[in-house]
Amino acid sequence: MTTNKHIIHGIFGDEVPMMEAIKKLRASGIRIKDVFSPMPVHGLDSLIGIPRTRIAICAFIYGLTGLGLATLMMWYMMISDWPNDVGGKPNWQYYFNIPAFIPITFESTVFCAAHGMALTYFLRCWLVPGAKAKNPDLRTTDDKFLVYLDLNDVQAKTAKIILKENGAEEVNQVKSYVVEPKYTLEETH
Amino acid sequence: MNTEKLNFIFSSKAKLAAFIFMAVGLISIIVMFLTDHVEGDDNYHLNRAWSNLFAGCFFFMALSLAAAFFLGLQYAAEAGWSTTIKRVIEAVTMYLPWGLSFMLLLFILGQMHVHHIYHWMADGISTPGNEHYDKIIADKIGYFGIFWWIRTILYMVGWYWFTMKLRKNSLDADKLDIDINNSYHWKNIKLGAWFMVLFAVTSSTASWDWLMSIDTHWFSTLFGWYIFSGMWISALVAITILLVWLKKIGYMEFVTESTVHDMGKWMFAISFLWTYLYFSQFMLIWYADIPEEVVYFQTRWESYKALMWTVFFVNFAFPMVMLMSRDCKRNFFFLMFVGTIIFIGHYLDLIMIVMPGTVGNHWTGLSWMEFGTFFFFLGVFIYVVLNALSKAPLLVKNHPFLQESIHHST
């Protein structure tokens, strides 16, 4: 059996009715594929059911890396390779002069965490040089909010009604396509 | 919304708790004054007892002052998230008149030579030949004496006026049915911004005058910010604990979890600000190794080592580990627990600032004296703050960001 799929763009002029519409869509069991917005909207990600970001865990790991690298570098330069006597403070042991090493450790931790996070974000979203913009409608870079839906016949009908009722400025059915089932039951007789 | 819960009722149970704190504190203060002495030191005049009183006075005064700063900051930044907890912040600022009165009383007693917290207050300190004569202090006595008193009075009047005016405008705005032009809000924005200006200068100079001058020979340019960050984090902790407690006993339903989370973020962030300044001051003095600066940490290193490390770890590593994750900042139990610990941690920090200049090497480690005095002022603080809280509705009425704050989510 084949399924008809419809791609629907619900375009809003303001985020408040959009959030309301999204709440109602979710309540009637419709999955929101994506939302395009000209500005960050608080609470939108949890509303459309995106799981919590794991970038904080990455940041922690990058930070630890930075801390380790800085310590290793300073230990090698200042203790192992060429011990110096700076202002009457001889560098024979690392722990003994640790206050002097803290600022660089701190800076390196912050540096690695921040850059690692930014790079991870760019790579994960594939915002690389030469990347094509994914906005389905250019107006979402200006003043319009777009709810992107990819639904079957029944759901598409309900979704259109909900969008209209909640103040969508436009509801466009952009494309319809047919999905062939991946597996079919073989007839046995 | 449940309108019954809009007015806080200062229950007799809470009153009793405050009075128990005060009673326990008062008894230990009395016992402390009777027993505090050091064998064979004639220059020791109940120094530890007076220093404890001083620390208690200053800590809670500074805390409510920083709360007033935080309130002014919300206005100056036109912040929307904090509107629902504004009355809690205001209640904490209402301890300021009490704190300032305690401070003034202590200063007057000092000038009457009842206690010897301030070395420079001694008679004949700048008269050559006098037995109290001190060359270093004599060289900078122009900054102390009458000039010091003028500054002290100016700080007190200025802070008091701004705090009371902020509160009064907020209460007056509630009396109107509707405030179409947000007139009181605009007034408070102006007040808040000017208070920032005043506070930026006076928080530093007051901490030099009132705390740094205990170690009169010593100076540090970072000291003002270090004290400021300490009082700020204490204020944030006090506000958060009060807020969480109110939510627990069924008030403040309109405060979203995100607002509590934001308070957790503040606690986390300002703990780092404190650490940054504490360490910067230490590191620069340690590195430069100039005798007249290093002497400050030498006393602490020799006689207060345990306290020094405790303060550092409790106020830095503990909140860092405990408040790092988002779930912890949204967990009421965690906020209460971590808040209480670092609240005490910052009180110990103040003990470490005050004691070496007055008690010096006679320090025998933390004892019931410190905690007893702390309890007394905590009792007064709780009573005054909860009393102020019960005087006004818990939710402000005419505030342009009220709806934004009620729907605040991050």
Listing DSSP states for A22-74 in one string gives HHHHHHTTPPP-EEE-SS--TTHHHHTTPPPP-HHHHHHHHHHHHHHHHHHHH
* Chain B residue with minimum CA distance to A46: B410
Confidence (pLDDT) at B324:
87
Confidence (pLDDT) at A103:
93
Confidence (pLDDT) at A180:
82
- Measured in residues, chain B has a length of 410
Tracing tokens 């107006």 back to the chain, one arrives at A139
Confidence (pLDDT) at A188:
64
Confidence (pLDDT) at B101:
96
Res. B2: pLDDT tops 70:
no
* Chain B residue with minimum CA distance to A53: B326
Confidence (pLDDT) at B112:
92
> Measured between beta carbons, which residues in chain A are less than 8 angstroms from residue B309?
none
Single out the residue of B390, B377, B395 nearest to residue B91, CA to CA. B390
Q: With contact defined as beta carbons under 8 Å apart, do B375 and B24 qualify?
A: yes
B36 band by pLDDT with thresholds 50, 70 and 90: confident
Instruction: Please write the tens of the pLDDT for every residue from A126-152.
Output: 899 998 888 888 899 999 999 999 998
Radius of gyration of chain A (CA): 27
Confidence (pLDDT) at B382:
96
B326, A56: Cβ pair inside 8 Å?
yes
A181 band by pLDDT with thresholds 50, 70 and 90: confident
Confidence (pLDDT) at B3:
60
**Longest CA span, chain B:** 74
The helix/strand/coil state of B80 is coil
Confidence (pLDDT) at B151:
96
Number of structural domains (chain B) is 1
For chain B, give the mean pLDDT: 92
Partner residue facing B409 (CB), from A43, A56, A89:
A43
Residues whose CB is less than 8 angstroms from the CB of residue B180 and which lie 6 or more positions away in sequence, other chains included: none
Segments forming the whole domain that contains residue B70: 27-36+44-401
Residues whose CB is less than 8 angstroms from the CB of residue A78 and which lie 6 or more positions away in sequence, other chains included: A84, A91, A94, A97, A101
Residue B6 lies in a domain: no
Residue A103 touches partner B, C-beta closer than 8 Å: yes
**B262 CA to chain A: closest CA distance, Å?**
14
Residues 79-118 of B with CB under 8 A from A: none
Residue B309 touches partner A, C-beta closer than 8 Å: no
A38 band by pLDDT with thresholds 50, 70 and 90: very high
* Chain B residue with minimum CA distance to A40: B410
| Average of per-residue pLDDT across A153-169 | 90
Confidence (pLDDT) at B160:
97
Residue B43 touches partner A, C-beta closer than 8 Å: no
Residue B4 lies in a domain: no
| Average of per-residue pLDDT across B161-172 | 94
Res. B229: pLDDT tops 90:
yes
Tracing tokens 């009153």 back to the chain, one arrives at B15
B360 band by pLDDT with thresholds 50, 70 and 90: confident
| Average of per-residue pLDDT across A68-88 | 90
| Average of per-residue pLDDT across B26-31 | 95
Tracing tokens 């998230």 back to the chain, one arrives at B81
Q: With contact defined as beta carbons under 8 Å apart, do B361 and B299 qualify?
A: yes
Single out the residue of B368, B354, B386 nearest to residue B58, CA to CA. B354
| Average of per-residue pLDDT across B314-330 | 91
Residues 47-66 of A with CB under 8 A from B: 56, 60
| Average of per-residue pLDDT across A77-83 | 90
Confidence (pLDDT) at A71:
95
Single out the residue of B353, B349, B351, B341 nearest to residue B372, CA to CA. B351
Share of chain B above pLDDT 90, in %: 73
Report the distance separating Cα B49 and Cα B45, nearest Å. Answer: 9
Domain boundaries, chain A: 3-38+149-179, 55-124
H helix or E strand, kind and range, residue B159: helix B146-175
Confidence (pLDDT) at B348:
96
CATH architecture, domain A3-38+149-179: 2-Layer Sandwich (3.30)
Residue B168 lies in a domain: yes
Q: Which two tokens stand for residue B19?
A: 């009075």
The helix/strand/coil state of A173 is strand
Res. B33: pLDDT tops 60:
yes
Confidence (pLDDT) at B1:
54
**Predicted ipTM of the assembly:** 0.77
B409, A42: Cβ pair inside 8 Å?
yes
* Chain A residue with minimum CA distance to B282: A99
Res. A77: pLDDT tops 60:
yes
Instruction: Please write the tens of the pLDDT for every residue from B168-183.
Output: 999 999 888 888 888 8
Residue B260 lies in a domain: yes
Residue A104 touches partner B, C-beta closer than 8 Å: no
Share of chain B above pLDDT 70, in %: 99
A189 band by pLDDT with thresholds 50, 70 and 90: low
Confidence (pLDDT) at A94:
87
> Measured between beta carbons, which residues in chain A are less than 8 angstroms from residue B282?
99
> Measured between beta carbons, which residues in chain A are less than 8 angstroms from residue B326?
56
